[in-house]
Chains A and B, each alone.
Chain A
Amino acid sequence: MPDIFTDYTLRVVALGAMALGAVSGALGAFAVLRRQALLGDAISHAALPGIVLAFMLTGTKATLPLLVGAALAGWLGTLFVLTIVRQTRVPEDSALGIVLSVFFGTGLLLLTHVQHMEDASQAGLTTFLFGQAATLLERDVIAITVAGGIAILLLLAGWKEFKLLSFDPIFAASLGYHVRLLDIALVSLLVIAIAIGLQTVGVVLMSALVVAPGAAARQWTNSLGAMVLLSAVFGALSGLVGAIVSAVTPGIPTGPSIVLVATGVVVVSIALAPGRGLVWQAARHARNRRQLRTETVLTDLYALGIQHAGQLHGHDARSIEALGPTRGAVGTALQQLAARGLAEQLPAGGWTLTDGGRAAAKSVLRHRRHTDPDGLDPVTGGD
């Protein structure tokens, strides 16, 4: 089993995957917030014709020209999407679908055309479809890091503007910012992030690396800065773990491996994020229900006490059950009330409120709007 600290190839691949995970995570956070998650999908597919054209023009498979070609085509595709949405009534998702499939189809047309010309040097262009991190060289990693670093620096330079654009574009426009230009600038940074990931993760799966870390990070925080940072960390983590798993397990391509790790991060975040996650939601829900049930039993017992004033044998748990819409669990609620000293069970088995319980019931009823603490409701009456 190769060791990340000694195995040169693995170290290069892991570093590259980490760098691109961090960059796409940071920029993807904005895409997720701005409901442009699928724009990443469109951009990565749209990059294919750029890659092939760059290869046809330069005749090399060096990272930089292909990266520039990918970025230019992805950028052009994005402009098309923005223009279609602005100028026609075609909905945004259709615009994304058109750009995605048409650009990719054109890329495919060019790619197969090049392949059929039997030029051996084109071999390997297809790795862009699914990505093959094993083909990463040290200079590729440097290119990824430099391009990604520039994108991150530009993001930080325009931080205030991009933040404003993401949360309140109308306010941004009223302050005199050129919103459309800002929009294009932010999307262009996303294009860079995607272009540098294509070789490792591939066209088809690159979009996941944009969406997943951002969606996961969103669960943990409400602050933009923290979210972008966390998203970058999640992205880097997914890249690192995914690349290692893919390298040490035969037959697992890098792209899918990284994507599944990132998906795992999303699932864990959605389930466990404090306050927001599904587990927390369920716990809060259960707690609220328990409290409501106890309160209902309390007020029901109070109502029974008023209706049967002077009767000292208390009330059967079953008659309380008959009052409320919730079946069962009355026993638990009564025990709980007894533990809090609000209700007591008489020796004959019936339940009744203590003085404290009556006061508590009155205060609950007073808090429920439109309820007169002594009048209860018209049907049960009272004195």
Chain B
Amino acid sequence: MSIAFEIQMVAIVTAVACALPGTFLVLRRMAMLSDAISHTVLLGIVLAYFVVRNLASPLLIVSAALMGVLTVALVEALSRTRLVKQDAAIGIVFPALFSIAVILVSRWAGDVHLDTDAVLLGELAFAPFRRFYWNGVDLGPRALWVMGAVLLLILAFIISFYKELKLSTFDPALAAALGFSPALLHYGFMGLVSVTAVGAFDAVGSVLVVALMIAPPATAYLLTDSLPRMLTYSALIAVASAVAGFWLAWTVDANIAGAMASMSGVAFLLAFLLAPGRGMVAVARRRSVQRVEFAQLMLVVHLLQHEDDEDAVRESSPAHLQEHLRWTPDFAERIVDRAERVRWITRGAERLELTSAGRERARFSLGE
């Protein structure tokens, strides 16, 4: 396997592993907890390191995942006092835990390869150099195995608890009433998010964890209303962002994680602008169609109202529309043209005349 291929494999597996739980985070409005967790797992790693003094120990991952759950518990305990709102609680808890980690590292672990920069930024380019050996046989990058295992765990969790996750995400009250334990599921799920964050954070850095957990699911959220589709789209968008990001970084010689985060942003921007039905373009087009349709109706209703007036001629002249309906001459011309084309009106010598279809339409919209 070439290095480029291996890096992309790690990136793809990581992206999918982040995007799947991220979908539920976005839907449950807990997106910023991923930011908090992806920072505080560092403290878990550092504390476990001080105990076992071995950076490769699996205990580090366990401790980091526990720290992620502890972060969630602390945030919840703090907001349960009702003295601090939940967003402020997140904003207090995670910088504090992260600060402790940074101080521990810079004061007592300066000699170890526990570089806070690397933790934050990640360097995917180094992933192929850390290999996984079994009985002396090289089985590929270690990160690929770690993230592959995490991905399987996530798939197992989501498939096993799909019904419970779905129900507690969309109707937590009903889920509780039916006897599902929201707390158990919640902490189980947050534990899973923590494990994902730890695994991913070793490979790609904490910021990309946030990007991959939130941006692809939010993009998918703009594209579909169905949960299975949202999960699928999130995974696909995450993979696309990962691959595009890799090639961008390769081309401009820069950090791969950063490039992948940028690409996931580009994907979101595209959906934001172009999503069918919900994107800015679709909304703007719908609004302009509605404006024209409404104006056409205004026109026939106006003509109907003044059809039998004494000054019907004056009221029904195209020029008068500008004064009465406050239309610009261009807009008035366009509306008259369109109304004529659908045969609601005809242009007489000095005034606009309603056709019978137009009269019917006007009466209908007046509720007559």
Contacts and interface: CB of A to CB of B under 8 A. Distances in A.
Interface of A: 32, 35-38, 40-41, 45, 84, 87-91, 93-98, 100-113, 116, 126, 129-130, 204-205, 207-208, 210-212, 214-215, 218-219, 249-253, 255-257, 259-260, 263, 266, 270, 273, 276-278
Interface in B199-256: 207-208, 210-211, 213-215, 217-218, 221-222, 248-249, 252-255
B207 A101 contact: yes
B106 interface: yes
Nearest to A259: B99
Given A93-B30, A260-B96, A102 B249 contact: no
Nearest to A96: B32
Interface in B73-131: 78, 81, 83-85, 87-88, 90-92, 95-96, 98-100, 102-103, 106-108, 110, 116-117, 120-121
A109 B103 contact: no
26 contacts: A37-B87, A41-B35, A88-B222, A90-B218, A93-B31, A94-B31, A96-B31, A97-B31, A98-B214, A100-B35, A101-B210, A101-B261, A101-B264, A101-B265, A102-B211, A105-B259, A106-B261, A108-B207, A108-B261, A111-B254, A116-B253, A129-B117, A211-B88, A215-B88, A252-B106, A273-B83
Contacts of A105: 207-208, 211, 257-262, 264-265
B319 interface: no
B50 to A, nearest CB: 15
Dominant secondary structure of chain B at its interface with chain A: helix
B280 interface: yes
A259 B96 CA distance: 6
Contacts of A96: 31-32
Contacts of B95: 204-205, 207-208, 211-212, 259, 263
Given A87-B280, A112-B254, A130-B102, A94 B265 contact: no
Contacts of B81: 270, 278
B88 A251 contact: no
A91 to B, nearest CB: 5
Interface of B: 26, 29-32, 34-35, 39, 78, 81, 83-85, 87-88, 90-92, 95-96, 98-100, 102-103, 106-108, 110, 116-117, 120-121, 207-208, 210-211, 213-215, 217-218, 221-222, 248-249, 252-255, 257-262, 264-265, 268, 272, 278, 280, 283
A348 to B, nearest CB: 49
Given A38-B90, A93-B31, A207-B95, A108 B258 contact: yes
B39 A204 contact: yes
A320 to B, nearest CB: 35
A100 B36 CA distance: 12
Contacts, number: 217
Contacts of B90: 37-38
Dominant secondary structure of chain A at its interface with chain B: helix
Closest 4 CB pairs of A and B: A105-B261, A102-B265, A108-B258, A208-B95
A307 B315 CA distance: 92
A207 B91 CA distance: 7
A98 B218 contact: yes
B210 A109 contact: no
Contacts of A208: 91-92, 95-96, 99
Contacts of B213: 97
A111 B248 CA distance: 14
B272 A204 contact: no
A253 B268 contact: no
B267 to A, nearest CB: 10
Contacts of B283: 87
Given A93-B32, A98-B265, 18 more contacts: A35-B88, A37-B85, A90-B221, A90-B222, A91-B31, A93-B87, A97-B214, A101-B208, A101-B215, A104-B261, A105-B260, A108-B254, A108-B257, A108-B261, A112-B253, A250-B107, A256-B99, A276-B83
B32 A89 contact: no
Contact of B259 (A87, A109, A260): A109
A312 B264 CA distance: 84
Nearest to A106: B262
Given A108-B261, A211-B88, A126 B210 contact: no
A130 B268 CA distance: 28
Contacts of A273: 83
A84 B260 CA distance: 21
A107 B211 CA distance: 13
Contacts of B211: 98, 101-102, 105
A32 B99 contact: no
Contacts of B26: 90-91, 94
B254 A110 contact: yes
Contacts of A113: 252-254
Residue in A93, A204, A251 whose Cβ sees the most chain B Cβ within 10 Å: A93
A176 to B, nearest CB: 22
A37 B99 contact: no
A350 B207 CA distance: 71
B120 A100 contact: no
A107 B106 CA distance: 24
Contacts of A40: 91
Contacts of A84: 272
A40 B259 CA distance: 23
Contacts of B208: 101, 105
A109 B91 contact: no
A145 B253 CA distance: 38
A258 to B, nearest CB: 9
Contacts of B262: 102, 105-106, 109
Contacts of B249: 109
A268 B264 CA distance: 41
Nearest to B278: A88
B207 to A, nearest CB: 5
B106 A253 contact: yes
Contacts of B217: 94
Contact of B268 (A98, A106, A270): A98
B84 A97 contact: no
Contacts of A89: 221-222, 278
A19 to B, nearest CB: 20
Nearest to B265: A102
Contacts of A103: 265
Residue in B81, B95, B96, B106 whose Cβ sees the most chain A Cβ within 10 Å: B95
